[in-house]
Amino acid sequence: MEGEASGGYGVVNDDFPEVVQEMDVAEWQVRSQIGFVPEKDRVKLVTVRGDSMYPDIKNGDVVMVDVRREFFDGDGIYLINLNGYTLVKRLQMLPDGLHVISTNAKYRSQVIPPSDIESIHVAGRVLGAALMRRAEEF
């Protein structure tokens, strides 16, 4: 699961790009931020590339993905595979279908009609992010 996901138009993970593969976070902080301490191998780290989820998620941020939630279980941000591309997007179910939403207004949302829902694969739900910032951005 180590790899990249695009916040833009998608990325194909043909090889193993340079990404954060491990991060130590205090148990108390995990519990206070996401509500529970996941068991080993339940959470994977994925580096997000692109600006379509800006300002929520910036290029280079690392998201923590609950890979046991490989299904849509309510509106939120997910790691998905759509048409062969790996993406981090906000998903929202509305009467006309599943909306694949970018936070950045310069990107258009996509609607997956109910008849095509099986074309999207949910790889996990994003629990949180480790924001990678330059000191100048503080």
pLDDT at 116 over 70: yes
Fold of 4-137: Umud Fragment, subunit A (2.10.109)
In this predicted model, what pLDDT tens digit does every residue of 37-85 receive, in sequence order?
Answer: 888 888 888 989 999 999 999 988 989 899 999 999 999 999 999 988 9
**Predicted TM-score (pTM) of this structure:** 0.79
**pLDDT above 60 for 21:** yes
SS3 per-residue string spanning the chain: CCCEEECCCCECCCCCCCCCCCCCCCHHHHHHHHCCCCCCCCEEEEEEECCCCCCCCCCCCEEEEECCCCCCCCCEEEEEEECCEEEEEEEEEECCEEEEECCCCCCCCEEECHHHHHHEEEEEEEEEEECCCCHHHC
